[in-house]
Amino acid sequence: MTRHIDIAVNLLSANLIDNASEIISQAAAEQVSPLIVIGSELTESRQAVSLCQQYAQQLYCTVGVHPHYARLWTDSSAETIRQLVKDNSVVAIGECGLDYNRDFSPRDQQRLAFEAQLQLACELNLPIYMHCRDAHTDFIQLVNQYKDQLPKAVLHCFTGDKQALDECLAAGLYIGITGWVCDERRGQELAELVKYIPNDRIMVETDAPYLLPRSMRPKPKSSKNLPQYLPYIVQSIATLRQQDYAELAQHCYNNSCRFFNIAHIL
pLDDT tens digits along 28-45:
999 999 999 999 999 999
Report how far apart, in Å, the C-alpha atoms of 2 and of each of 31, 174, 266 are.
Answer: 7, 21, 9
pLDDT tens digits along 66-96:
999 999 999 999 999 999 999 999 999 999 9
217 part of a folded domain = yes
Q: What is the model's pLDDT at position 263?
A: 78
Please check if 66 is assigned to a binding site.
no
Stated pTM of the model: 0.96
Residues 6+ apart with CB under 8 A from 56: 89
- Sort residue 111 into left (φ over 0), alpha (ψ -120 to 50) or beta: alpha
266 part of a folded domain = no
Please check if 207 is assigned to a binding site.
yes
Phi and psi, residue 109, nearest 5°: -70, -35
Range of the domain at 123: 4-260
| Across 196-213, average pLDDT | 97
Q: What is the model's pLDDT at position 161?
A: 97
8 part of a folded domain = yes
265 part of a folded domain = no
53 part of a folded domain = yes
Please check if 156 is assigned to a binding site.
yes
225 part of a folded domain = yes
264 falls in which pLDDT band (50, 70, 90)? low
The CATH code of the domain that includes 79 is: 3.20.20.140
- Number of domains composing the chain: 1
Cis amide leading into 198 (omega within 30): no
pLDDT tens digits along 167-198:
999 999 999 999 999 998 889 999 999 999 99
Please check if 131 is assigned to a binding site.
yes
